[in-house]
Amino acid sequence: MSHSPKFWAVVPAAGVGKRMNADRPKQYLPLAGKTVIEQTLTSLLRAEVFSAISVAISAEDPYWPELAIAKHSQVVTAPGGRERADSVLSGLMVLGGQAEERDWVLVHDAARPCLTSHDIHRLINTLMDDPVGGILALPSHDTLKDVQSQTIFGTLDRSHVWRALTPQMFRYGMLRAALQAAAGNPAVTDEASALELQGWQPKIVEGRPDNIKITRPEDLPLAQFYLQQAQWGEQA
Ligand code: C5P
Does residue 1 surpass a pLDDT of 60?
no
Residues 43/114, Cβ–Cβ less than 8 Å: yes
User: What is the chain's mean pLDDT, rounded?
Assistant: 95
Report in angstroms the alpha-carbon separations of 111 from 36, 148, 154, 197, 235: 7, 29, 32, 25, 25
Ligand 1 mutation target, pool 109, 163, 191, most atoms within 8 A of CB: 109
Contact 41, 55 (CB under 8 A): yes
Residue 233 falls within a domain, yes or no?
no
| Residue 86 Cα distances to 128, 141, 179, angstroms | 26, 32, 8
Q: Which residues of 121-150 are buried (b: 16+ CB within 10 A; e: fewer)?
A: ebbbebbeeeebbbbbbeeeeeeeeeeeee
Instruction: Specify the number of domains making up the chain.
Output: 1
Evaluate whether residue 234 is within a structural domain.
no
Q: Does a structural domain hold residue 27?
A: yes
- Rounded CA-CA distance 214/183 in Å is 26
**73: CATH:** 3.90.550.10
Say whether pLDDT at 11 is over 90: yes
- Nearest C-alpha to atom 5 of ligand 1 is from which residue? 15
Q: Would 1 be classed as within a structural domain?
A: no
pLDDT band for position 236 (cuts 50, 70, 90): low
Range of the domain at 201: 7-228
Q: Where residue 39 falls among pLDDT bands split at 50, 70, 90? A: very high
Mutate to test the pocket of ligand 1, among 36, 84, 213, 216 (most ligand atoms within 8 A of CB): 84
Q: Residue 20: its pLDDT value, please? A: 87
Element (H, E) at 206: strand 203-206
Task: Report how far apart, in Å, the C-alpha atoms of 182 and of each of 3, 47, 106, 107, 167 are.
Answer: 30, 31, 19, 16, 19
Is 235 a domain residue?
no
Residue 215 near residue 111, CB atoms below 8 Å: yes
Is residue 197 in a domain?
yes
Report the predicted TM-score, pTM, of the whole model to 2 decimal places.
0.96
pLDDT of residue 235: 66
Residue 170 and residue 132 in contact, taking contact as beta carbons nearer than 8 Å: yes
pLDDT for 21: 84
191 within a domain of the structure (yes/no): yes
Beta strands in 87-161 (DSSP E): 104-107, 133-139, 145-148, 151-155
Paired strand residues for 53? 9, 75
Q: Is residue 181 part of a domain?
A: yes
10 CA from centroid of ligand 1 (Å): 12
